[in-house]
Amino acid sequence: MNQMQLMDMGFQGQAYTWRWRRAEGVLIQKRLDRGLINSIWQEAWPCSIAIHLPAVGSDHCPILILTEGRQEKSKGKYPNARIKVEKLTAELELLQRDWEENEKRVEQIKIELNETLGQEESFWKQRLRIQWLKIGDSNTAFFHHSTLQRRRRNIVSRIKGVNGV
């Protein structure tokens, strides 16, 4: 990192980005993943932050990089879904810290989170469709790619429990 003049940009959220429970029940947690920046990035985006999101469907936590720092949420047509997603994600993060005691609630949150993300995805699909009608066929591939990317990002496929299932 020093040789390439890269700096760790720090983070917000949970301290670890990877967790693994061994067969003996020992939980291993490490911060394997991190956001690295150089001085050019620092000058271009001085308020940028890395946020460790809860691990859902993986043993790694995704990292969200915000270039403008945390901002006030705009009051759009569908703010309730975003608020609910943030609330459920925060609760999921807390519950995953003590997995064994909270396994049933984690499963409930997973179902509720998938439903809410589906509602939000539907909203964005409608919004993209409106934009597509305004712009025409010129950006069809772009809008299709945007929708697919959002769908992949929002799917919660599974959460592994203590016994690996």
Question: Which is nearest to 113 in space by CA: 137, 93, 89?
Answer: 89
Which pLDDT belongs to residue 72? 47
| 10-24: pLDDT as tens digits | 888 888 888 887 777
The model's pTM is 0.42
| 64-94: pLDDT as tens digits | 888 875 544 445 555 567 777 778 887 877 7
Task: Kindly give the pairing relationship between strand 49-52 and strand 12-13.
Answer: parallel
Classify the C-alpha dihedral 54-55-57-63 as positive or negative.
positive
